[in-house]
Amino acid sequence: MITALIIILVAVGSVAFHLMSPWWWTPIASNWGFIDTTIIITFWVTGTVFVAILFFTGYCIWKFRHREGVKADVEYEPENKSLETWLTIGTTIGVVIMLTPGLFAWKQFITVPEGADEFEVVAQQWQWSYRLPGKDGVLGKSDVRKITPENPFGINADDPKGKDDVLIESDDLHLPIDRPVKVLLRAIDVLHDFYVPQFRAKMDMVPGTITYFWFTPTKVGNYEVLCAELCGVGHHAMRGMVVVDNDSDYRAWLAEQTTFGQSLAKAQQQKSIDLASTTDRATSEKKVSAQ
Amino acid sequence: MADATHDDVGYVPPAEIEEQDLYHAKSWITKYVFCQDAKVIAIQYSITAIAIGLVGLVLSWLMRLQLGFPEAFSFIEPDDYYQFITVHGMIMVIYLLTALFLGGFGNYLIPLMVGARDMVFPFVNMISYWVYLLAVVVLCASFFVPGGPTGAGWTLYPPQAILSGTPGSDGGIILMLVSLALFIVGFTMGGLNYVVTVFQARTRGLSLMRLPLTIWGILTATVLALLAFPALFVGAVMMLLDRILGTSFFMPSIVELGEHLSYGGGSPILFQHLFWFFGHPEVYIVALPAFGIVSDLISVHARRNIFGYRMMVWAIVIIGALSFVVWAHHMYVSGMNPYFGFFFATTTLIIAVPTALKVYNWTLTLWRGDIHLTTPMLFAIGFIVTFVNGGITGLFLGNVAIDVPLSDTMFVVAHFHMVMGVAPALVIFGAIYHWYPKITGRLLDETLGKFHFWVTFLGAYLIYFPMHYLGFVGVPRRYFELGDTQIFDQSVGDLNAFISIVTFIVGFAQLVFFFNLYRSYSKGKEAGPNPWRACSLEWQTAETPPGHGNFGKELPLVYRWPYDFNVPGAKEDFIPQNMSQSEAFPKRKAAAKTSRSRAAKK
């Protein structure tokens, strides 16, 4: 009796928790509402089945419980072909109802709209950097093997398309609202995963290849970036911030950023100063020893 | 009577070959230590698996201390935390669940349930256990090497698994990979034994379609393991070469903390394919024996035949086959070719159909039964609840687009703990309460058993059900702490603390179970040979616990399937598999005789 009641209570309690729980997804800030819809459909189908099975189980436990001294009227029925067939058909229909929107959503997810702006996220233990394509709209070629302290993105200096690339190191990324973006993902050491809960989308970043996903930011605001693929001991602390701006704010921010060409020139300058100062020091030392 | 295959009651084929003599132990050591009797090997496997499982349990407490109370325990550093989760996962999936279901229950139940005197290769069977023990020792040794055990997560994804940003990248990862390779070697020896024994050593009359579902589950799981573990073996060997010799199977060009490493040209995703080609069947290696065992528990304790036996057998076989074509659903956001998503989402959701049918058939077995709410039955019911819950969240994660926001969050952690942690664990407990009387001759205490059940079942549900919602909020898994953040408010921390407290309660409740095991061994109620009045062969042995050679002088002859409960007209509410028609239906026989004599008179 009590067992049957508890099984029923587990079903009722689960539904009540679902309806009243304060823990639910963060308000969406991208175009991926279709994914949320698919989740809701799945909740309805599976929730119904869950409650039905638990109620049926609870009912059986109560109705057909063994009672001392009462001869049970047990049915000897090894199979019931028509019942089994109907259950198979019903389950298949449920699966189709869930799978169809899922596959449609996935088709959208992997089809990047024409004209989407590209930008690149570069991950390393344990920080995020970003590269925007600059005025020409094209990212310069890059290679992990070309990475140096002056060229942390490994951009090919011989590729003219890379000179105007805008580099953002260990700082917030800004994105303009309502424009689809294709996010190119690159890691230079281990696996990482660029994850902003409000955008719903995420994808692993794999050293050796470039992965991607796309989305359209739909709400102005600041959004925290989390790493969603275990990347070593600093995994949990690998955070960043994406700021979705309206158009004018975005342009103002973009104007303040440095390009690869500028940072390269700056590094060159720094190098020659360093070189000059070491030569100075060497000459003065020589002078001292001469005296 | 319906047209089921067990209808050919009564036919027993003649013996084709003579019985061979067994190996007989000559000393204490060959009887209890280096023993070739499958029943002793089963106990050795079970004790080792449960012992290392307790280590896994303590590790889970340590990680829950950190997650529930992030500031309170300064002795847990990020390094430690990642080592705890890694070793916990590895122990629970492989060294506890796989070893206990196949090495433990497989060894004990296969020979007894198929009416054999022992496994067909007893010597190899013995070696299998000792190699397994060695694998466990090597795993434990990694706690004592400089740098400690690996903290790469149980999936051991390269490149991080072998780079210095991950704890245990010195000795820990090497020992982990060696231990896995040893485990696979040991398992293969045992696994070949289980399969050959089921196919070759069944007693006369025991056709495949008269096997208990427990055996079907263990047999199919073993076949899966024999085919899947080699992929992990290959992955482990290649990663060892990458780590020790500097090859680049899984390692592309890498700049680590500003330094160029000498690797280049390898593919990290290749490892993921190898890992999950093993890893997904592994889920069913754990689940199928649980499916089989729970079918038997429900049927016996509900005193009713299992509903849809043939469907149940085919569902096990089909699920086993499909489990080899769904592996990349663990990799939807891994960066593999995105078009794989369509295929793997479809196969994954198809697997839900035979799985759902199994659930329906379990509940339909309860329908119009005579349900005895014994402890094993309670655990079986607990399994149905948690398995259905964990199964339907699999429909979320398997449906590729939904997986995008939910992957790598606590939703995944909640899902797989519910479906392949809690659900199989409940079956293991149920099975121990069910077969302990056969193993020791004494029943476990029912009151303690029921207390153990309710705390474990309701506690586990309270731990993992709310945890799904943390995943909806977006809390990533494998986070040492959430730290300062805008996304997650105080309520997330509160829920984490609640989950941690329940974890400690459920963990401590297991002490009641161990106390029960210990006390009942000497003080439990005498069980007799067949306390549950079950039909399958292990309950029909001459001695309890069964002696060397399992059955007395003669092996049992099998006349029927193992689910003849409450057959109309039978003299008792169950008919053992080795009981002939005339013994089972004395009245019917008499009636037949009289009608024949009447006919003769006419």
Average pLDDT over residues A184-208: 95
Residue A92, in any domain of the structure:
yes
Average pLDDT over residues A89-100: 94
Within 8 A of A143 by CB-CB distance, chain B residues are 253
A66 touches chain B (CB under 8 A): yes
Average pLDDT over residues B274-296: 96
Encoding tokens for residue A254? 């973009």
Within 8 A of A92 by CB-CB distance, chain B residues are 353
B307 touches chain A (CB under 8 A): yes
Q: Do B352 and A95 touch (CB under 8 A)?
A: yes
pLDDT at B593: 56
Query: What is the percent of chain A with per-residue pLDDT over 70, rounded to a whole number?
Result: 94
Distance, in Å, from the CA atom of B488 to the CA atom of B471, rounded to the nearest integer, reads: 11
Average pLDDT over residues A112-119: 93
Task: Indicate whether A169 and A89 sit together in one domain.
Answer: no
Distance, in Å, from the CA atom of B32 to the CA atom of B29, rounded to the nearest integer, reads: 5
Whether the per-residue pLDDT at B15 is higher than 60: the answer is yes
User: Between B316 and A271, whose confidence is greater?
Assistant: B316
Task: Indicate whether A122 and A158 sit together in one domain.
Answer: yes
E strands, chain A, where? 117-124, 127-132, 166-169, 173-176, 181-187, 192-195, 202-205, 211-215, 221-227, 239-245
Distance, in Å, from the CA atom of B45 to the CA atom of B47, rounded to the nearest integer, reads: 6
Encoding tokens for residue B458? 């309701």
Of B266, B388, B466, the CB nearest to A53: B388
B8 touches chain A (CB under 8 A): no
Residue A280, in any domain of the structure:
no
Integer angstrom CA distances of residue B268 from A93, B162, B163, B178, B238:
38, 12, 13, 20, 12
Task: Indicate whether A237 and A222 sit together in one domain.
Answer: yes
Select the residue from A100, A190, A212 to test the B interface by mutation, using most B Cβ atoms within 10 A. A190
pLDDT at B99: 96
For residue B81, the SS3 value is helix
Residue A71, in any domain of the structure:
no
Residue A70, in any domain of the structure:
no
Count chain A–chain B contacts defined by CB atoms under 8 A. Answer: 329
Distance, in Å, from the CA atom of B362 to the CA atom of B384, rounded to the nearest integer, reads: 8
Distance, in Å, from the CA atom of B220 to the CA atom of B216, rounded to the nearest integer, reads: 6
Average pLDDT of chain B, as a whole number: 92
Distance, in Å, from the CA atom of A46 to the CA atom of A65, rounded to the nearest integer, reads: 28
Encoding tokens for residue B452? 């153990």
pLDDT at B25: 80
pLDDT at A201: 93
Its ipTM equals 0.91
Task: Indicate whether A126 and A259 sit together in one domain.
Answer: yes
- Is residue B467 within 8 Å of B413, Cβ to Cβ? yes
Per DSSP, helices labelled H in B263-332 are 268-301, 309-322
Distance, in Å, from the CA atom of B276 to the CA atom of A80, rounded to the nearest integer, reads: 37
Q: How confident is the model at residue B3 (pLDDT cuts 50, 70, 90)?
A: very low
**Number of separate domains in chain A:** 2
Within 8 A of A229 by CB-CB distance, chain B residues are 157, 408
Q: Do B466 and A17 touch (CB under 8 A)?
A: yes
Q: Do A57 and B385 touch (CB under 8 A)?
A: yes
Query: What is the percent of chain B with per-residue pLDDT over 90, rounded to a whole number?
Result: 85
Q: Do A209 and B269 touch (CB under 8 A)?
A: yes
Whether the per-residue pLDDT at B9 is higher than 70: the answer is no
Within 8 A of B340 by CB-CB distance, chain A residues are none
pLDDT at B44: 96
What is the residue whose two structure tokens read 């009151």? B447
pLDDT at A149: 87
Residue of B nearest to A19 (CA): B469
Encoding tokens for residue A157? 């200096």
User: Between A259 and B230, whose confidence is greater?
Assistant: B230
Q: Do B405 and A222 touch (CB under 8 A)?
A: no
Range of the domain at A155: 117-269
Q: How confident is the model at residue B1 (pLDDT cuts 50, 70, 90)?
A: very low
HSE-CB at B474 with a 13 A cutoff on CA atoms is 24
pLDDT at A261: 85
Select the residue from A99, A170, A210, A239 to test the B interface by mutation, using most B Cβ atoms within 10 A. A99
Average pLDDT over residues B173-187: 97
- Is residue A230 within 8 Å of A221, Cβ to Cβ? no
Residue A275, in any domain of the structure:
no
Encoding tokens for residue B360? 């329906």
Q: Do B335 and A206 touch (CB under 8 A)?
A: yes
Q: How far is B302 from chain A (nearest CA, A)?
A: 8
Least confident segment among A20-29, B84-93, B124-133, B396-405: A20-29
Order the strands of the A127-132 sheet from edge to edge: A166-169, A127-132, A117-124, A181-187, A211-215
Residues 364-423 on B with a CB inside 8 Å of A are: 364, 366-373, 378, 381, 384-385, 388-389, 392-393, 395-396, 399-402, 404-405, 407-409
Average pLDDT of chain A, as a whole number: 90
pLDDT at B5: 42
B192 touches chain A (CB under 8 A): no
Distance, in Å, from the CA atom of B177 to the CA atom of A59, rounded to the nearest integer, reads: 49
Whether the per-residue pLDDT at B21 is higher than 90: the answer is no
Question: Which CATH number do you get for residue A166?
Answer: 2.60.40.420
For residue A184, the SS3 value is strand
pLDDT at A283: 58
pLDDT at A64: 92
Residue A291, in any domain of the structure:
no
Query: What is the percent of chain A with per-residue pLDDT over 90, rounded to a whole number?
Result: 71
pLDDT digits (tens, 9 = 90+) for B419-448: 999 999 999 999 999 999 999 999 999 999
Task: Indicate whether A262 and A167 sit together in one domain.
Answer: yes
pLDDT at B4: 41
pLDDT at A209: 94
Of B359, B469, B480, the CB nearest to A23: B469
Within 8 A of A56 by CB-CB distance, chain B residues are 363
Query: What is the percent of chain B with per-residue pLDDT over 70, rounded to a whole number?
Result: 96
DSSP class of residue B142 equals: G
Task: Indicate whether A95 and A145 sit together in one domain.
Answer: no
Task: Indicate whether A93 and A197 sit together in one domain.
Answer: no
Average pLDDT over residues B307-317: 95
A224 touches chain B (CB under 8 A): yes
Q: Do B253 and A144 touch (CB under 8 A)?
A: yes
Least confident segment among A21-25, B252-256, B456-460, B473-477: A21-25
Average pLDDT over residues B247-263: 93
pLDDT digits (tens, 9 = 90+) for B192-222: 999 999 999 999 999 999 999 999 999 999 9
Residue A102, in any domain of the structure:
yes
CA-based R_g, chain B, Å? 25
A87 touches chain B (CB under 8 A): yes
pLDDT digits (tens, 9 = 90+) for B138-147: 999 999 999 9
Q: Do B371 and A190 touch (CB under 8 A)?
A: no
pLDDT at B224: 96
